[in-house]
Amino acid sequence: MAKKLRFLLFDADVVIEAWRRGVWRHMLTQCHITLVDTVVDEACFFEEPGGTRQAIDLAPDITSGAVRVETTSAAQLQDLVELVPESWRPELHPGEAASLAWMLSQSPVESWLICSADHIVFRILGKLGRSECGVSLEELLELVGRRASTLARHFTKEYRVSVSRRGFADGLAR
């Protein structure tokens, strides 16, 4: 078996989409996945095409050690808030904030990847000159040998790169 991808942090949208697509179990075999506790609380169900809700049960994966859960401290969150322009803060939701704050407090931060579908995550990484720390679901699926067809735009590499570039440009302009 190939070496697992290490230090991979997911946001709730990615967890939900992985479950909806039926690729969560495969990702667990290919990646060392870390979630912040806020994301665990947020990723509790997905909707099937007909509108039926399906529960997401992360407890067995957490209990077995397949998924590591971390807690973000108030100090880590405050450090993130100080890095983010005030006009961007309303766009930063709890799971995104907790994931980014925790990741940015790790040393070295470059050893971590955050897989997200939220523009604010990629925009902040771009502003901080850390675009390489972000990865789209499309890119991740390709890395673990799964086809990434018919993904919504916010799950694509093109979207991640575009938003990261905008964040980088915003960082230069300030």
Check residue 168 and give its pLDDT.
83
Sign of CA dihedral 83, 89, 92, 95: positive
Q: Distance (Å, rounded) from C-alpha 70 to C-alpha 48?
A: 29
The label of the residue with tokens 């964040």 reads 167
Check residue 2 and give its pLDDT.
59
Those residues of the chain that have pLDDT short of 50 are 1
Check residue 49 and give its pLDDT.
85
What the chain holds in terms of domains, given with CATH numbers, is: 5-173 (3.40.50.1010)
Check residue 85 and give its pLDDT.
92
| 105-130 pLDDT per residue, tens | 998 888 899 999 999 999 999 999 99
DSSP conformational letter for 70: E
Check residue 174 and give its pLDDT.
57
Please give the sequence-ordered ranges of beta strands (E in DSSP) within 3-66, or none if there are none: 5-10, 31-36, 45-47, 53-55
